Chains A and B, each alone.
Chain A
Amino acid sequence: MILESIVFYTLAIISIGSALLMVTRRNPVIAALYLILNFFCLAGLYLTLQAQFIAVIHILVYAGAIMVLFVFVIMLLNLGDKQTLNDAISPKKVVAGGLSLALLLELLYIIVYATKDLPAYDVKQALETGTVEHIGKELFTNFLFPFEVTSILLLAAIIGAVLLAKRKLD
């Protein structure tokens, strides 16, 4: 119980810190690296929630595929010193901070009042739902159609990416 809390709060602090650093860094490569750290912490949090399959898939897909794509594009664009996009404090940023703070307060209000008397979750039950066996069974029976549609989505994304990144449209 106490160990669970220690793991959670360590991962939570690292993930919030890395998210903040990601948003504030000027160099996109460093921002991408902080985002990868954040993704690893999230995978750890998924493990503490007994979602083993999703944790592994998260590392494979996000840290392994999407972030490689991001870093690759950053390297490809070769954003030099003139591209650092020096963001100074501007009225726009203050408004952005105020708006997102309002959003956070709304979300916290909803969470506090909606989960006021939520019992602690059943770890044994959660352990069973997160297994590959359980997810696979559900995915290939009740969710077979969305699963197949996903393949069409990925095909469309591949074609779209190739077409958009091509040098000349002719």
Chain B
Amino acid sequence: MGIQPYLYLSAIMFMIGVVGVIARRNAIIVFMSIELMLNSVNLTLIAFSAQLGNVTGQLLVFFVMTVAAAEAAVGLAIIISLFRNKQTVNLDEINILKW
């Protein structure tokens, strides 16, 4: 079995993540969709790493995971402070930067 099925799976999961980011209004679910997209890209990187016999792809996944951890910590802190100020995580109601 080649790596093509992995690439198709990764594309489908990325699309599901995009749908979640665009269509959902709950900030936490939007955030989880972003994690899903990051993971689908990781799957592509691992697949090509196996295909090419090159370890660089796996190292890149390692760094993506670190960035995702940092992003999750800061993003959830932002959601907590937003909830504290507006009592909601509905993204349609968080529009103070819009004019």
Residues of A within 8 A of B (CB): 1, 4-5, 8-9, 12, 15-16, 19-20, 22-23, 25, 28, 31-32, 35, 38-39, 42, 45-46, 49-51, 53-54, 57-58, 61-62, 65-66, 69-70, 73-74, 76-77, 79, 83, 85, 87, 92-93, 95-97, 99-101, 103-104, 107-108, 111, 115, 118-122, 125-126, 128-130, 134-135, 138-139, 143, 146, 150, 153-154, 156-158, 160-165, 167
Contacts and interface: CB of A to CB of B under 8 A. Distances in A.
Given A130-B50, A154-B70, A158-B73, 12 more contacts: A9-B5, A49-B47, A50-B50, A62-B65, A70-B32, A107-B11, A111-B4, A115-B7, A126-B49, A146-B63, A161-B73, A163-B77
A67 to B, nearest CB: 9
For the residues of A in contact with B, the DSSP-based class is: helix
A100 to B, nearest CB: 4
Interface residues of B, number: 69
A31 B69 contact: no
Contact of A65 (B11, B26, B42, B69): B69
Nearest to A164: B77
B55 interface: yes
A122 B47 CA distance: 12
Given A70-B72, A153-B66, A35 B32 contact: yes
A86 B73 CA distance: 27
Contacts of A153: 66-67, 70
3 shortest interchain CB distances as A-B pairs: A157-B70, A96-B22, A164-B77
Contacts of B5: 8-9, 12
Contacts of A128: 53
